Amino acid sequence: MLRADSPPNPWFSWQYVERNRDDIATYLGQHVSLTLEAVVIALVVALPLAALAHTRPRFAAPVLGTAGVLYTIPSLALFALLAPYTGIGRVTVLIGLVVYALLVLIRNILVGLQGVDPAVTDAARGMGYGRARMLVQVELPQALPSIVAGLRVATVTTVALVTVGVVVGYGGLGQLMFRGFRSNYHAEIMTATILCLVLALVADVAIVLLAKAVMPWSRSARMLAETSA
């Protein structure tokens, strides 16, 4: 507890930010790189798994079941289980983040693939499309809205989970939070918290803008619907 003659301990201090800009930049860079790497790796792994579950329905239950079981493991317990094999640091945190993002991505990709209009796939089949070509050129583009939705959820969740990596020595902005809690320094805690919120918001907006750029047909369809209404 602070004494009456203790120096001020504000919840936000620009002076703290200026004095510690190098530390803040370092931990923010860790946070951003971990988030990007984890989401990209998870997406690369989730796409073929979801495609397998879609094209071979008998594999859907094992794929979703395995991802679901991994997702239910508490983050602290998962890092503790991984640490003896992968060590203390970045690799352990990255593996954990990928594991947690997988279920969200696999489910959304699979839902998107299963929601493709049968008339579209029938037309493609009538044009001579094989199974692989139909998946890549017809079903995946049609499933993009669902994939983007899953990507948004996975990214925002990953931004939050990176902070837990502090238990194995690599938690990005979580390092600042932990240091602030240990020293009871409010400004350090609040600065890291605000940066996490801003990072999650920026990442979400970036994904939405990117989705609009790669899905121009959805914007055209919406404009046509508004015009006809």
Taking all residues of the chain, what is their mean pLDDT, rounded to a whole number? 83
pLDDT tens-digit map of 80-122 = 888 888 888 889 899 999 999 999 999 999 999 888 888 888 8
Give the C-alpha separation, 87 to 78, whole Å: 13
> In Å, what is the CA distance from 92 to each residue of 54, 123, 163?
30, 46, 13
Give the rounded percent of residues in the chain with a pLDDT score beyond 70.
Answer: 90
Give the C-alpha separation, 16 to 180, whole Å: 12
pLDDT for residue 205 is more than 70 = yes
* pLDDT at site 228: 40
Query: Using CB atoms within 10 A of its CB, is residue 174 exposed (0-12), middle (13-18) or buried (19+)?
Result: buried
Query: For residue 70, what are its two tokens?
Result: 């991994």
| pLDDT average, residue stretch 203-219 | 79
* pLDDT at site 7: 59
pLDDT tens-digit map of 167-182 = 887 888 888 888 888 8
| pLDDT average, residue stretch 205-228 | 63
| pLDDT average, residue stretch 190-194 | 89
Local confidence band at 128 (pLDDT 50, 70, 90 cut-offs): confident
Task: Provide the CATH topology of domain 16-228.
Answer: MetI-like fold (1.10.3720)
pLDDT for residue 219 is more than 60 = no
Model pTM?
A: 0.84
* pLDDT at site 40: 95
pLDDT: which is higher, 89 or 159: 159
pLDDT: which is higher, 4 or 31: 31
Local confidence band at 70 (pLDDT 50, 70, 90 cut-offs): confident
**Amino acid (1-letter code) at residue 131:** R
Q: Which of 87, 88, 149 is nearest to 115 (CA)?
A: 149
* pLDDT at site 44: 95
pLDDT for residue 12 is more than 80 = no
Give the C-alpha separation, 63 to 223, whole Å: 38
